[in-house]
């Protein structure tokens, strides 16, 4: 695949640890390992799109140099998660002789390791013990609690967190410069909002928006991502906080009529509420109401009635906060407006 046809998330994937964006403490730990050459078995835990696999592969590239291709086995455990893979591919790789640099080891990088079956994890534990002199394991996962305790006790834990808006913005601006992408400030804000700390999501949405519309603005981004425009959701919140439940319900009905699922709407309500520039006490009260509605929708009650009930509770909460500064009257519910 040529560079022109490559997904940008792969084209601009960091090759060395110094290029990894965000999670400075976790990257510093990995850089210390690269400097000493003493790589333990590691578990990299954190949300998707935060650089776990990228950081591990960059570390392997720095430690193994020219034998990187022969010395690294990368598997996605969501596809290959049965005991046969451990017994065949992983065990055969561990047995294979590779002339790695002095002090280095072959590396098995297992992505989404928390989706491995219990039997596969038990088999891998034994493989980790038998071939510890020549092979190290790096397990990337979203939830480390799903990794068996015996494996956790054999690994160093490196935790990653969601990327900050600034880190995502800096990377988006860099890719825009490299690809000569025309992006407005509101378009970049929309990409950051929809990504929610996930760099992979942000870059994929950037490429999809540019490929489809030729320009990256907020309207195009929300069309590509198929998410309700946060300005409209902010307008609904504003009307409810002002006690005008009827206007809020009208906007909600319009969004519902455009085909947005209840889970998409409640997730946008949560993101917008979390971003409100209001005192902590009323914000927590709002988040409590949104959280209960989210729980009911996730449990299967994904109806318009649940969302209408949320607006009624917000209207009756008498929180006395103003969020007018978030509302942009230029967003048209029935026109472009991102829907």
pLDDT at 295 over 90: yes
- Which residues are within 8 A (CB) of 115 and not within 5 positions of it... i.e. 6 or more apart? 77, 78, 81, 146
Q: How confident is the model at residue 13 (pLDDT cuts 50, 70, 90)?
A: very high
**C-alpha to C-alpha distance for 307 and 127, rounded to whole angstroms:** 51
Give the integer Cα–Cα distance in Å for 157 and 99.
28
Task: Please list the alpha-helical segments (H only) found in 145-198.
Answer: 149-152, 165-179, 185-195
Convert the pLDDT of each residue in 34-89 to its tens digit: 888 788 999 999 999 999 989 999 998 888 888 888 889 888 766 666 677 777 78
Average pLDDT of the segment spanning 86-115: 84
Q: 241 pLDDT band (50/70/90 cuts)?
A: confident
57 Cα distance to chain centroid? 18
Mean pLDDT score, 90-113: 85
Note the pLDDT tens digit of each residue in 159-200.
Answer: 999 999 999 999 999 999 999 998 999 999 999 998 888 999
Which segments of the chain belong to CATH 3.40.50.300?
A: 8-159
298 vs 336 pLDDT, higher one? 298
Please state the rounded mean pLDDT for residues 255-264.
90
Looking at residue 132, its pLDDT comes to 86
Higher pLDDT, 339 or 57: 57
CATH homologous superfamily, domain 8-159: P-loop containing nucleotide triphosphate hydrolases (3.40.50.300)
Count CB atoms within 10 A of the CB of residue 146.
Answer: 14
Under 8 Å between Cβ of 23 and 197 = no
Burial of 188 (0-12, 13-18, 19+ CB in 10 A): buried
According to DSSP, residue 107 is labeled E
**CATH code of the domain occupying 230-326:** 1.20.272.10
User: Where in the sequence of the chain do the CATH 1.20.272.10 domains occur?
Assistant: 230-326
The token pair at 212 is: 């489809």
Averaged confidence pLDDT in the chain: 85
Q: Are 281 and 337 a contacting pair, CB within 8 Å?
A: no
Using a pLDDT cut of 90, give the percent of the chain over it: 40
Give me the sign of the Cα torsion angle 6, 8, 13, 14: positive
Q: Shortest CA distance to 278 belongs to which of 214, 246, 243, 324?
A: 324
What is the structure's pLDDT at 335? 40
Enumerate the CATH 1.10.8.60 domain ranges in the chain, comma separated.
165-225
Q: Per CATH, the architecture of 165-225 is what?
A: Orthogonal Bundle (1.10)
Q: What pLDDT does residue 46 have? A: 92
Average of per-residue pLDDT across 143-154: 90
**Is 102's pLDDT higher than 90?**
no
Average pLDDT over residues 239-258: 90
Asked whether 31 and 74 are in contact (CB, 8 A), the reply is: no
**Count of alpha carbons within 13 Å of 328, Cβ hemisphere only?**
13
- Calpha distance 309→266 (Å, rounded): 12
Interatomic CA distance for residues 319 and 323, integer angstroms: 12
Share of the chain above pLDDT 70, in %: 91
How many whole angstroms separate alpha carbon 289 and alpha carbon 311?
A: 9
Q: Do the Cβ atoms of 246 and 311 come closer than 8 Å?
A: no
> Averaged over 219-226, what is the pLDDT?
87
Q: In whole angstroms, what is the distance from residue 245 CA to residue 333 CA?
A: 17
DSSP single-letter state for residue 303: S
Query: How much is the pLDDT for 329?
Result: 44
């Amino acid at each position: 695949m040529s560079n022109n046809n490559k997904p940008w998330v792969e084209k601009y994937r960091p090759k060395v640890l110094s290029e990894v964006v965000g999670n400075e403490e976790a990257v510093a730990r990995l850089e210390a390992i690269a400097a000493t050459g003493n790589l333990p078995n590691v578990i990299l835990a954190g949300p998707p799109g935060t650089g776990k696999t990228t950081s591990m592969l960059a570390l392997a590239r720095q430690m193994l140099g020219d034998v990187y291709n022969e010395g690294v086995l990368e598997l996605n455990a969501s596809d290959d998660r049965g005991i046969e893979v451990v017994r065949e591919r992983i065990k055969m790789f561990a047995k294979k002789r590779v002339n790695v640099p002095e002090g280095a080891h072959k590396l098995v990088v297992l992505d989404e390791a928390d989706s491995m079956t219990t039997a596969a994890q038990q088999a891998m534990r034994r493989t980790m013990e038998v071939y510890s002199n020549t092979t190290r394991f790096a397990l990337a996962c979203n939830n480390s609690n799903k990794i068996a305790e015996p494996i956790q006790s054999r690994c160093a834990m490196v935790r990653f967190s969601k990327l900050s808006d600034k880190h995502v913005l800096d990377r988006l601006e860099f890719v825009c410069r490299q690809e000569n992408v025309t992006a407005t400030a509101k378009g970049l804000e929309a990409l950051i909002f929809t990504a929610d700390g996930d760099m992979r999501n942000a870059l994929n949405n950037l490429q999809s928006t540019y490929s489809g519309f030729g320009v990256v603005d907020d309207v195009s981004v929300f069309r590509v991502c198929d998410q309700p425009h946060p300005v409209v959701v902010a307008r609904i919140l504003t009307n409810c906080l002002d006690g005008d439940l009827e206007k809020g319900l009208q906007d909600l009905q319009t969004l519902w009529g455009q085909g947005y699922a209840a889970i998409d709407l409640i997730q946008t309500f949560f993101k917008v509420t979390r971003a409100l520039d209001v005192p902590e006490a009323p914000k927590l009260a709002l988040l409590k109401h949104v959280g209960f509605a989210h729980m009911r929708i996730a449990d299967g009650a994904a109806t318009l009635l649940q969302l209408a009930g949320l607006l009624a509770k917000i209207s009756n909460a008498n929180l006395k906060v103003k969020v007018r500064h978030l509302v942009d009257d230029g967003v048209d519910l029935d026109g472009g407006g991102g829907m």
